[in-house]
Amino acid sequence: MEFLVSELEREPIDFDLELAPGAVDFSDEAEQVGPLAAAGRAEVLHEHRGPRDIVADIRLRGRFAGKFEVPCARCVEPVEIPLAAEFDLIYRPVDADSEAPERSITAPETEIGYYLNDSLLLEDVLREQVLLSLPVRTLCKPDCKGLCPRCGENRNTEACTCDEGQTDPRWEALAGLRSRIKS
Ligand SMILES: [Zn+2]
Ligand SMILES: [Zn+2]
């Protein structure tokens, strides 16, 4: 969904939609499972910087909710995580701050982004918001045993016949390194 400043200048646009997987490109960071719901309002806010210097900002407020799959940090099996968040964002024309950045107003409560060519794509905003709300590290379960550093077997499902000497996951990297030096 594209917001055009010229249209927003006439009246705010309310949106309430569901995006199918693939509509937003999350690259390899997360896979969307099922529809991604997004609802909110886009409107223009005019920044009066001077009598002839009026900047048309787009304010985008709303929320999204959807399910995503990310790889477990230890065993790389996909883990389904529900994500939902609210956002309240300001987008400025990309050239508005280039000449006099020191004049730009600061709005600590809102994040500032930039839009190009008088248009803002909801899909781009959602991609950013979803990626920002992803947990830094996801585990399939708190005690995930991870992959065997020697044979690569998923230790949650397969008992491999490698040396069981070190099972503390903190030693995995060291054990893997040692086996590489030996071979
Ligand atoms: Zn795991
Ligand atoms: Zn093994």
Question: What is residue 146's predicted lDDT score, i.e. its pLDDT?
Answer: 95
Ligand 1 mean position, distance from CA 32 (Å): 19
Ligand 1 mean position, distance from CA 33 (Å): 19
Ligand 2 mean position, distance from CA 147 (Å): 8
Helix (H, G, I), strand (E, B) or coil at 49: strand
Query: Is the separation of the CB atoms in 154 and 75 below 8 Å?
Result: yes
Give the β-pairing of 78-93 and 111-115: parallel
CA 87 to chain centre: 12
CB-based contacts of 78: which residues, under 8 Å, 6+ apart?
31, 69, 70, 71, 72
Question: What is residue 160's predicted lDDT score, i.e. its pLDDT?
Answer: 87
Which residues place a Cβ less than 5 A from the ion ligand 2? Answer: 148, 150-151, 153, 160, 162
Query: In the 8-state DSSP scheme, what is residue 20?
Result: P
Per-residue pLDDT of the chain (183 residues; tens, 9 = 90+): 999 999 999 999 999 999 999 999 998 889 999 999 999 999 999 988 888 888 999 999 999 999 999 999 999 999 999 999 999 999 999 888 766 555 555 555 556 899 998 999 999 999 999 999 999 899 999 999 999 989 999 999 988 888 765 556 666 666 666 666 655
Cα–Cα dist 31/40, whole Å: 23
Question: pTM (2 decimals)?
Answer: 0.76
Largest Cα span, the chain: 77
Query: Is the separation of the CB atoms in 58 and 44 below 8 Å?
Result: yes
Question: What is residue 168's predicted lDDT score, i.e. its pLDDT?
Answer: 61
Question: What is residue 50's predicted lDDT score, i.e. its pLDDT?
Answer: 85
Counting ligands in written order, the one closest to the CA of 155 is: 2
Joined tokens for residue 21: 């997987």
CB-based contacts of 143: which residues, under 8 Å, 6+ apart?
none
Ligand 1 mean position, distance from CA 128 (Å): 26
Among 16, 31, 21, which Cα is nearest to 122's? 16
Question: What is residue 94's predicted lDDT score, i.e. its pLDDT?
Answer: 87
Question: What is residue 53's predicted lDDT score, i.e. its pLDDT?
Answer: 86
Question: What is residue 103's predicted lDDT score, i.e. its pLDDT?
Answer: 52
Ligand 1 mean position, distance from CA 142 (Å): 8
Question: What is residue 29's predicted lDDT score, i.e. its pLDDT?
Answer: 85
Question: For 152, how many CA atoms within 13 A lie in the half-sphere containing its CB?
Answer: 0
Among 130, 120, 127, which Cα is nearest to 41's? 120
Cα–Cα dist 113/160, whole Å: 50
Cα–Cα dist 27/127, whole Å: 10
